[in-house]
Amino acid sequence: MKKIELDIVALSHSVTQSHNYAVVLGEQQGTRRLPIVIGGFEAQAIAVAMERMTPNRPLTHDLFKNALETFTIDLKEVIINNLLDGIFYARLICEKNGEIFEIDSRTSDALAMAVRFNCPIFTYEFILDAAGVVLEEPEATSPAAGSGSSRAKSGRQRQRTPKGAALSSYSVEELNRLLDDVLAKEDYEQAAKIRDEINRRKEQG
């Protein structure tokens, strides 16, 4: 089966499930997004690694990474390999002395490890077909682009990005408020653009 490479494009509170978070994966060569609901601890583990923060003491995933490296085991890639009854399954593809090993893992833990090892994340077409969504920019203003609801290729509702001026015209405070708004609407593609603009401002400042 052909593997499809994914990137982590957003991490936010889950709108559909309280006390949980959603990590959103986007395919590198396409527009589909794969949202996965995870727990708060796993969300923290992913966020800490993505932001390159160093805890005073190793978190569980840091401990596992240190153990693998101590025994010269390298995490080569993570594969989200199945979806059953709404639950995602994943495997860690590890290598030691040229030999490949596969380790069963919860998807949230696998993603937390992938961020730490900076290794690629893959899935398969049937998983994106079943659970992926396509996020699109709003269509050009026209009488036909009214209140009628269109459908994404996956059969789910398309996500609309907020209308208005270019992001460069917003202040940082306004961008942060806008980011909260689009995350609440689960418009993760627009959220990623806003976050990139905020980070660009920080680098310039």
Say whether 194 sits in a helix, a strand or coil: helix
Same domain, 127 and 178: no
Question: Can you give the CATH number for the domain in which 68 is found?
Answer: 3.10.690.10
Query: How many structural domains compose the chain?
Result: 2
Q: Are residues 14 and 109 in the same domain?
A: yes
Report the pLDDT value the prediction gives residue 34, as an integer from 0 to 100: 93
In a domain, 137, yes or no: no
DSSP state of 98: T
pLDDT for 168 equals 78
Whether 126 and 178 share a structural domain: no
pLDDT tens digit sequence for 53-90: 877 888 899 999 999 999 999 999 999 999 999 899 99
Residue 177 lies in a domain: yes
Contact call for residues 55 and 63 (beta carbons, < 8 A): no
Read off the pLDDT of residues 179-193 as tens digits, 9 standing for 90 and up. Answer: 777 666 656 556 667
Q: What are the CA-CA distances from residue 169 to residues 86, 164, 181 (Å)?
A: 41, 10, 17
Asked if 113 and 164 sit in the same domain, the reply is no
Same domain for 35 and 118, yes or no, is yes
Average pLDDT for residues 25-33, to the nearest whole number? 91
On whether both 119 and 170 belong to a single domain, the answer is: no
Is residue 38 in a domain?
Answer: yes
Residue count (the chain): 205
Considering only residues 187 and 36, tell me which one the structure prediction assigns the higher pLDDT. 36
Q: Which domain holds residue 83?
A: 3-131
Q: Is residue 152 part of a domain?
A: no
pLDDT in tens, 151-165: 333 333 333 334 344
SS (H, E, C) 49-78: HHCCCCCCCCCHHHHHHHHHHHCCCEEEEE
In a domain, 154, yes or no: no
Query: Are the C-beta atoms of 111 and 67 separated by less than 8 Å?
Result: no
What is the C-alpha end-to-end distance of the chain, expressed in Å?
46
Kindly state whether residues 125 and 163 are assigned to the same domain. no
Give the helix, strand, coil percentages of the chain, each rounded to 5.
35, 30, 35
Answer yes or no: is 81 within a domain: yes
Look at the block and give the residue holding tokens 């708060």: 40
